[in-house]
A = this chain, B = another copy of it.
Amino acid sequence: MLHAVIMAGGSGTRFWPASRRHLPKQLLTLATETPLLRMTFERLGDLVPVDRVWVVTTAETAEATRNVLPELPPENTLSEPLGRNTAACAGLAACAAQKADPEAVCIVLPADHIIGEEARFRAAMAAGAAFVSREGGLLTFGVRPTRPETGYGYLELGPEHTHEGEWSVHRLRRFVEKPDVDRARTYLESGGHLWNAGIFAWRATTLLEEIRRQIPDLAIGLDRIGEALGTDESDAVLSQVYPSLPSTSLDFGIMEGAERLWTVPVDFPWSDVGSWSALAETLTPDATGNAVRGRVQAIDAGGNVLVSTGPVVSVVGVDNVVVVATPDAVLVVPKDQAQRVKEVVEGLREKGWDDVL
């Protein structure tokens, strides 16, 4: 049966000062009144019943995650004692799904993206899942580029293999790191590359077999965890075993070396909401031409991202700037340098101002 795995273990810093160690991006209300995690869950609609939704989170955010998804059965929250990258995370979810349902087919979704045309999203997920359920292999969904984006990784399309309903299924030739702008333009024009959205489909058994073949140490650890899941010893074994698992990503640790690798091009609106400026693109500007959240006043100022979780923010005579204010921290950065939030967080750590991290 179809299962959905929501990977909610992120603890990124790209939305500082709104995001914090204990309040990562997927738990924030950035673009709407609803946290991205909740949006991701609700987007599943009738695709998967709630008892077949698995959410992988961290010890630090497990409670907040359960509060955002109160209808999720407690045993469906899988809490990583600490992050071991996406291969371990997806492996853990596959263990849990397979234990509950030996025939489990998983779609795997990041918790912190924004996706439009949700019915179309669900149709694509259903098609990809039906395909891998029948033919096996590891499948990744790729978003058709609409601009020469240099902030995303890409998927290089191989030859078309078949159709699944209206969706074409291609061989996946390889994963491509973030390109420079010239290369990104070529990708856009050729049509041979897709944005790597980090959305996957596979049978749980297929993923676990690939892990066993390619990363045997990970498989051994997951076997021990899988035995304990659902028993009284579950937490103890997780705490003991998980931290020692090999840390590697799904894309490069498993997908690239997998025996049968597929990709389904999709065209629903998608954003990984990777920065304040990316967020701004998902918001409708207000009458003053600014993307605004909270009590904000803009005078003779346009093209700004003005976000407050409390303080009144007033800007005058300033354009194309990100201003984010919380009661204990404020960020000001030009919109086209929004990715430099990382430097800010590093700087705060160096100064020892951990209270605002």
Contacts and interface: CB of A to CB of B under 8 A. Distances in A.
B340 A317 contact: yes
A318 interface: yes
A236 interface: no
Interface string A299-320: 1100000001011111111100
B325 A311 contact: yes
Contacts of A340: 299-300, 316-317
Contacts of A329: 311-314
A353 B348 CA distance: 32
Interface in A327-357: 327-334, 337, 340-341, 343-344, 347-348, 351, 353, 356
Contacts of A234: none
Nearest to A313: B330
A118 to B, nearest CB: 35
A293 B330 CA distance: 14
Contact of A332 (B323, B327, B353): B323
Nearest to A351: B297
A333 B300 CA distance: 10
A317 B334 contact: yes
Nearest to A329: B312
B330 A312 contact: yes
A266 interface: no
A321 interface: yes
A326 interface: yes
Given A328-B310, A347-B297, A337 B323 contact: no
Nearest to A333: B316
A348 B310 contact: no
A120 interface: no
A63 to B, nearest CB: 26
A333 to B, nearest CB: 4
A295 interface: yes
Which 6 A-B residue pairs are closest in the complex by CB-CB distance? Answer: A316-B333, A317-B337, A314-B344, A315-B332, A325-B330, A312-B329
A308 B337 CA distance: 23
A343 B331 contact: no
Given A297-B348, A344-B297, A348-B297, A315 B333 contact: yes
B343 A312 contact: no
A34 to B, nearest CB: 25
Nearest to A336: B317
Interface centre among A297, A317, A330, by most B CB within 10 Å?
Answer: A330
A316 B348 CA distance: 12
B318 A334 contact: yes
A300 B341 CA distance: 12
